[in-house]
Each structure stands twice: as structure tokens, then as C-alpha cells.
Amino acid sequence: MGDVVSSQLDENRRGMITARTSDVMKEFSDVYEQQYAVALFNSVRFEIEGGGGPQSQLLHRKDPLAGRSIFSGSLFQYLEENRKWRNRFVSVPNSYTISLYENKTAHDRGLHPKVTINCAGYKALTSMEEYMELMDGSLPGVKAKVSSSPFIKCATQFPLILWHPYARHHYFCVMTEKEQKKWHAVLQDCVRHNNNNGLPEDCTVETPAFTDSVRLYRQAKGHYGTWDLMCGAPPQILANLVMEVLHPELRNVIGPRLKGKMQQRQRNWMLISDAVYKQVLSQTTGQYDALAEACEAHRGQLDARLRTDMDQIITSKEHISSKIRALVLPKAEQLLRASVQPYISSILEALMEPTSRGFSEIRDVFFEELVEISKNSLNGGSKDKLGEQLERLSMLAFHPVKMQSCYEKMEQLNLEGLQQRFEVSSPSVFISRAQILMREQMDNAVYTFEQLLRQSIEAQGEDDLCKTIQRCQDRVLKKYDYDSSTVRKKFFREALLQIIIPYMLQQLAPSCTPELPRFKELIFEDLSRFLLVENMYEEVVLQSVTKDIMMAVKEAAVQRRHNLYRDSIVLTNSDPNLPLLGETPPVDWAAKFGANEPDGSVGTEVEGRGSGRRRKQVVSMIQLDGLPFPYESCMEVPGVELIPEEDSEVCECKEDDDEEETDDLGPSEEPKSPDSVNEIRDLINPVVEVTVPASQENQSEVTNGTEPTIGIINTEDGAEEEVSHVTTIVEEVPSKSPRDKMSPQSILQELVGGKKQEAENEHQDEAAIQKAIEEMEMAVQEDDSDRIAEASAAESDSELPPLVKDSSSQYDSGFQSPANEGLNEGEPQPITNGLNGEDKIIDPVEVEGILA
């Protein structure tokens, strides 16, 4: 393999590659220096004049992945050196780079990884058919037959492949389809993050200068429209820019010289391409760093000049723009009416459908997680458990498997037809951008909920935590609905501009571009660094179509087909105290609720911290049954399952206490949350219901109710159960003869036979038992069964409100705010007897809001 690379890439050819890279970087540097000054002018002008879009309602977390590790596990990797498959331990830190170690011990000892993969520009594949289809286009004139086998033989039928058009490919495999889906979600998350993380949006000068420079450079070469390889850090994008020209030339020269079978030729070409890409990337990295440093060194001087002559620069720009507008606008409007306006609504509809479904899925996933937390808090969960759940919730946006259902909605975007007309290379640019926005909105919603919940707990305490969670949930969902609408509308406008503007520039270029040089004469020499005719020309074209795009988005919002807010609905300063919460540090729920960190929930040490703190892991795989012991692909590695990955499946690696709860439900039942007050009561305390006849005059004393008592009863299987409360239920029963009735003494003997074991509560127990004896003896003396039936029915109807009876039917509605109409007709009746037997008064409306 090394001989193939060295023989095809000799010293002369490597020199040619270096020279071609330098030529591209020289041309790019000239464009970048010009665009840097323009971007600085736009940034300073925006700072002085102000402006901006609608105010966000949700809070933004500054560093959500601080001290976190995304994932770790084990899988099989294919080694090119010896063509063998080896088990490797994989760690994905918060940088989303994939690090492969010899084993878990090497990772824990802090050794250097054997391989580190930056996934920018890669595609994550799950079948050899997809991979071979991409490989068939790697060499001209070399096509694989349908029956041909690839040049690698996968160890299992569940492969995972990282493919790159220029760099080295990476091959993995796992044992089960379930693992494959989860690993694929993790790999896609790494690709998505690295593709979009190289150009931070908060850099208001460097990022627009770089993106405009790349676009203008490619337009000068005749390449208009979106570019799939505009991904990664600037040196990686520049390497892709060089390879876009260099790669086809080398392929035409080297491809015919490769010998061997088809699969071997493809494999050798991949190794040669990787060697060229590494050489180009090394060169672009050094030259871009030098370029960025040179521009930064002159920034202070340019900034001072801008602030001094800002008024003069703006006046001059407006004058020249008006001249360009007179030339370009008539031609642009004619093109717009004939070739663009008829298609704007079609493009917008194609974008809106999958995007709105994806953001709606974000809302549903967030809502379901809060419902689960509310249920567990309502069912008497411990504070430790609550702390663990809230800790899991805090990293929901970065859980690849949980978020996969949201991302998949956006992957259904189809621009077929429109894509060919407007020469859009592929919809992947828009898909990736929308998915990043989804993740940001999910994290903003989670972070806002955490801050509101902490504020509510500090102000009101931890009493009635379920109701507090619901109030915070409702506030956050309203803010999410507004913010998601604002973000989507902005995304639609940007996507339409990315599709339409390059098409219009390409169509107008033959008639307008030759006329532009004469406008340079109108620019003063000392202002020429900040005013470029090419930029002003593009701004005129953009302004010509902006009005139509804004109107199309506004009409879509008015229709409300996709839950978009109208522009007239403004929620600015709707919650003025909320931004103050964003200044507070993140909440450590595990420490706040005293939750001990579970075993194995730590990973590698945080770099740069000498305190010995460990990274908490966002997600890890579960242990699957039936796998050979040495294979650890799904083992619970450093982190526990901080977020349950699948609600519909029962996790195979349950804790012991979860297994005990499942056994109690019987072999055919799965654990379920209680749907009514009675079921909740049964879960909390053992309850014995006793139905006895009562006289009319004693009706007020013998009613539905629970009285505290202490005792032991013997069950049918001989086990002893402790009784903490006696629940009496009044209901209609047929009359029986006295000899068929059980005596009060026998009932009490069965209920409280073990009362002597509680010596410390002896006096209280005797008083409670004596009271029960008196009530039952008075009930036995009444023989009139008709009066008993009437009184029992009347008392039952007056005591039990319809809400308790129908509470199970409202289970599917989730934890909604108490706004459902028709559920509580008439005057609400208070319900006594709390969940733990205390005399707590609960309003039916409150019960509805909590248990619906």
C-alpha cells in the first residue's frame, strides 16, 4: 500500500500539488483581504446603528457541553494494515471527534488514541451497497458489476462506514441491528456537529468574510449556488476548495496507471487521494493561519478609520448603489417576474413541510420527558431519582438517539424539480442547518425550564412539586412556540435567498457584470477598501427579491398551516424577569436533590482542570442479551443511561429495584404509571377496603374515608403484610342474614392481629381500634336494607366526583394545563384523604391538572 502511494506521488508530483495549492490560496487570500474590510465595515455600522430581529423568549446556555462526554463504547474496526477486524474502544468527547483506543484500559489511563477522526465532510453509511455506489464514481471508466464483492469483507451484516470524497474511509461493524441504529445516530451527530461548528456565528467579522470569500471565489470559477463541502473549519473548507480542482486532474492522470483488479484499483486510489488530501490540508492550515493573523493585525487601524469616516462611507455607498440600481433593477425585476416568482411558493412549501414536522417533534419529545418527570414525582419518587431525571433532561438536546426522531423528519426534504431548475447541488445544506437549529431550540427550552423550576422551588419550596413542574412546563412551551416560529421563518427566508440569489446572479451575469467596472471610478481611493462594487451589486439583486420572499413567508404565517406566528404578534418583554435568570450558573440537580452519582457515571478527566473532576457522559449504550462476553459494544461504559433511549422497549439492563417492580405486575404486564387516585393510593400504602351496612343516622360517620392505624394481616399465601391505613367504602349491597355477617371482632382480629409489635404507638393504636369497633357495632344493629341502599347510593354519589371515575380516560392527553372544557361541570366538590392518608383537601380542578 505504501509502495502504491509513493510510486504514484513522487517528488515531482508532490511539488505540483504544493504549487497548485499555493495558487488557489493566493487567489483566495486576495479576495479574503477585501471581504475582511467590508465585513468589518458592516459589523461596525450595525453596532452603531443598532437593529436586529425579534427578541428571543427562551434563554441560551453559554457552554452546554462543559464537563460532558457525548458517548463511549466498543465496536469492531477494519484495519487497513493487515486487513483484519479488531475490537476498539470508542470515546466521543464534547468536541465530537471520534477517538479509538486499543481497549478501555488505555482510555482510562489517558493514553493517546490510536486513531482520531474529525467527521467534517463525511457521510455515515449503514450498508455496503450505499458505499459501493459512491465508490463506483471514484474512478472514471471503472464500474463495479452487480455481483461484484467490495474490496473489504464485513465481519457482520451490520456495517457502519464513514465515507469522504477525498479523505480516508473508516469501516466499523456491530453485532445487532439495534446497535447499528444507535451507532449510526451517534456518527451522524458527530458529522452534523463538525460540519457546522467550524464557522461560529458570534464571529461577526471573520465568519461573513470567509463565507463571502469562498462564494465569490467559486462564482468567479463559474460555480454558483450551494456547496456540499462548505463544512468544517476554514482550513478544511479551503482544502476542499483546492481538491475540487486538483482531484479530477490527478484522477485522470493516475487512474489509468493503476494495476490490478477493479476492487484493488479503487482501494489504491482511495489511499492516494487520502495522501493528497493530507498534504493539501497541512498546507492550507498554515497559510490560512498566517492570513488570519495578518488581517487581525490591521483590524485596529481599519476600525479607527471606519469610526472616523462612517458618515462619509455610508453616503458614498448610497450614491453608488443608486447608480447600480438604475442599471440592474429593471433586468432583475423582469427575470424575477418570469422565472422566480412563480416558484417561490413551491420552494417554500417544500421547505416548510418537513421543517415544521421536525420542530413539532422537538416539542413533543420535550413534553414527553417532562410528563415522565411529573408522573414519577406524583408517584412518590425519591429526591435522588428526581435529581437523576432532571440531570438527564439537561442533556436531552445532545442525546443522539433521543433526537434522531426529530432529525429524521427534516431528512424527508425533497427539492426534486426545483433543485434542477435553480441548480441546487443537494438539499443536504438545508437539512443540516435546520437540524442544528432544532438542537439549539431544544437546549434553549430545557435550559429555560431548569431556570424557571429552580426559581419556583426557591420561592415556594418543594411542596406540590408536580404542580410546580407543570406551571414551568406551560410557560416554556408557550415561549418555545413563539421562538420556533421566529427561527423557522428566518430559516425559510435564508434558504429561499440561498436558492434564488445565485440563480439570479448567474442569469444576470452576462448583461450586468461587464458594466460593473465603470462604477469603481465613483469610489474615493481612501474609501475603496470598504466599498466594493461586487458587493453593492449583489445587495441590489438581493433587495430586488427580498420583498417577494418576505411576502411569501408572511402569507404562510397568516394561513397558520404550520403553526407560524404572524409578524404582528410580538412578545417582546413578555417576561422581563426571565433574562436575569440567564445570568445565573447552570443548575446541578444531582447536588441540589442530594442524588449520589451512580456507579460508572464518570469518564475521562476534563482537560485543563486540575481538580480531578470527571466528565459526565450524556449517553451510553445498553447491554444486549445474547452477545459474547468479550464483545463490549453495548456495555454500560463510563456513563450510565442518563436519558432512556427508547420509551417503547423495556431496557435489558434494568436496576434491581426496577426488576422487582416488574415481577409484581405479573409475567404478561409491563410497568405502567397509575391512572387514578385509587391506583396511586394502592402503590403508596397497602389498603384494605371494608364494606359494611350502615344505618341512616350513622351515615355521616361511616363514609368513604381512610383512617390511620398500625397492624399486621396474614395474606392467603401465608405472608405477613403491614397495614398503615384502613379505607372504608360505602356501597350498595344486598341484605344478608345476621349469621352470614362477619362479626366486628373477627374483622378487627384479622386487621390488627399484630398490633402488639408496635409498643411505642400502643396508646394511639388502641384509640383507633376502639373507634372502629364502635362504628361497626352501630352499623350491625341496623336491619332496614332499603334505607341502607338509598343512603349508600346518595352518599356515594355525593362523595365521589365524576373526575376520579373518568381520570383514566384522560390519560392520553398528557400533562396539559387545566383548560379542557366539559370535564368539570357543576360546582367542584373538594376531595378529602390525600395520597398518603393525610386529611388533605384537593380541588378536582387541581386533580385534573395533575393526573390528566
Partners of residue 123 on adjacent β-strands: 163
Residue 827: band (very low, low, confident or very high) from pLDDT cuts 50, 70, 90: very low
Residue 784 has pLDDT above 60, yes or no: no
Asked if 72 contacts 107 with a C-beta cutoff of 8 angstroms, the reply is yes
What pLDDT score was predicted for residue 726? Answer: 57
Ranges of beta strands (E only) in 715-802 are 720-728
Distance (Å, whole) CA 260 – CA 281: 29
| Cα torsion 570, 575, 580, 586: sign | negative
Q: What is the dihedral of CA 513, 517, 523, 526, to 10 degrees?
A: 110
Average pLDDT over residues 58-64: 84
pLDDT in tens, 386-434: 778 888 888 899 998 899 999 999 999 988 777 778 878 788 999 999 9
pLDDT in tens, 316-336: 999 999 999 999 999 999 999
**Three cell numbers written together for 697:** 343516622
Asked if 89 contacts 101 with a C-beta cutoff of 8 angstroms, the reply is yes
Residue 852: band (very low, low, confident or very high) from pLDDT cuts 50, 70, 90: very low
Name residues whose C-beta falls within 8 Å of residue 300's C-beta, 6 or more positions apart in sequence: none
Average pLDDT over residues 644-657: 40
Ranges of beta strands (E only) in 54-134 are 68-79, 84-93, 98-101, 115-117, 123-125
pTM here is 0.71
Span of 146-160, 458-472, 620-634, 748-762 with lowest mean pLDDT: 620-634
Residue 47: band (very low, low, confident or very high) from pLDDT cuts 50, 70, 90: confident
687 burial class (0-12, 13-18, 19+ CB within 10 angstroms)? middle
Name the pairing type of β-strands 687-690 and 616-617.
unpaired
What pLDDT score was predicted for residue 52? Answer: 65
Asked if 107 contacts 604 with a C-beta cutoff of 8 angstroms, the reply is yes
Span of 268-277, 705-714, 829-838 with lowest mean pLDDT: 829-838
pLDDT in tens, 431-480: 999 999 999 999 999 999 988 888 888 887 777 778 888 888 999 999 99
What pLDDT score was predicted for residue 620? Answer: 53
pLDDT in tens, 133-178: 888 777 766 555 544 556 678 888 999 999 999 999 999 999 999 9
CA distances from 675 to 267, 493, 672, 813, 852 (A): 60, 46, 9, 12, 8
**Three cell numbers written together for 415:** 427539492
Residue 836 has pLDDT above 50, yes or no: no
What pLDDT score was predicted for residue 175? Answer: 92
pLDDT in tens, 515-534: 999 998 888 888 888 999 99
Residue 376 has pLDDT above 90, yes or no: no
Distance (Å, whole) CA 157 – CA 174: 8
pLDDT in tens, 336-349: 999 999 999 889 99
- Which residue, chain included where needed, has cell 433587495? 543
Residue 729: band (very low, low, confident or very high) from pLDDT cuts 50, 70, 90: low
Residue 91: band (very low, low, confident or very high) from pLDDT cuts 50, 70, 90: very high
Average pLDDT over residues 531-539: 92
Q: Following DSSP, what letter does each residue of 312-379 receive, concatenated? A: HHHHHHHHHHHHHHHHHHHHHHHHIIIIIHHHHHHHHHHHHHHHHHHHHHHHHHHHHHHHHHHHHHHT
Tell me, what amino acid is at 507?
Q
Residue 767: band (very low, low, confident or very high) from pLDDT cuts 50, 70, 90: low
What pLDDT score was predicted for residue 747? Answer: 47
Q: Following DSSP, what letter does each residue of 162-197 receive, concatenated? A: EE-SSS--EEEEESSHHHHHHHHHHHHHHHHHHHHS
Name the pairing type of β-strands 720-728 and 687-690.
parallel
Rg of the chain over Cα atoms, rounded to whole angstroms, equals 35
Distance (Å, whole) CA 58 – CA 443: 10
Span of 40-54, 92-106, 230-244, 666-680 with lowest mean pLDDT: 666-680
pLDDT in tens, 227-237: 889 999 999 99
Residue 211 is given by DSSP the state H
- Percentage of residues in the chain having pLDDT higher than 70: 64
